[in-house]
Amino acid sequence: MDRNQIGKWLKNPGKMANKYSFHVVYFCTGCGIIEVPPSITTRWDAERFGIIPVATPRQANLFLITGYVSTKTLAAIIRTYEQMPEPKYTVAFGSCPINGGMYYDSYNTITSLDKYIPVDGYIAGCMPRPEAIFIGVTHLWKLIDMDKADGYKRYREDYVHYRANQEQILGELDWPPLFSKENL
């Protein structure tokens, strides 16, 4: 541990702990997942930074969206994202979640993910190398330090709009709204 950080730890332990203990939802949403096993195993060992995959979204705070998102997956992504406890962070891989990437004209993949769920950061490349994943994570650390990784807050504030966008694509959603008027 860095000695300079002790002050930060005392000031806001929750924030610092969130930084150094990313529990990733293990959800193979796209082809970028192929670089996740190398980065969590021997060669790159993400556990050094406290990053481990967990089995259920309830225990996670980082959601890696690894590549293109088909409409069927989008429903699963939204459900998984809503199950995660706050604070939670989303990082999307590659160009596909930004604007559709090479699937710009595919009838089954959405073109920009941040219309449906908030995304805190994007990692460039198809697919990003394990090093790029780590760079993405360190950037996320900086964002958390500056309180700019506020995707979950935006989701709470603009939930009505996000829900409207989700319903525009997926039709009537078969789960109740996460935030109603009372618990906002």
Please, what is the minimum distance in Å from the beta carbon of residue 125 to another protein? Answer: 10
Q: Where are the beta strands (DSSP E) in the chain?
A: 23-25, 52-54, 62-65, 89-93, 121-123
Q: From residue 149 to residue 178, what is the string marking binding to another protein with x (rule CB under 8 A)? A: -----x---x--xx-xx--xx---------
Q: Which of 8, 33, 141, 150 binds another protein (CB under 8 A)?
A: 33
List beta partners, residue 109.
70
Q: Is 110 in the site for another protein (CB under 8 A)?
A: yes
Alpha-carbon torsion (11, 12, 16, 17), positive or negative: positive
Residues 69-98 within binding reach of another protein (CB under 8 A): 70-73, 75-76, 80, 84-87
Relative to beta strand 62-65, strand 121-123 is unpaired
**Of positions 5, 6, 102, 153, contacts another protein by CB under 8 A:** 102
Confirm or reject binding of residue 56 to another protein (CB under 8 A). yes
> DSSP code of 63?
E
Regarding 28 and contact with another protein (CB under 8 A), the answer is yes
**Beta carbon nearer to another protein, 45 or 142:** 45
Beta bridge partners, 23, equal 52
Query: In Å, how far from its chain's centre is CA 149?
Result: 11
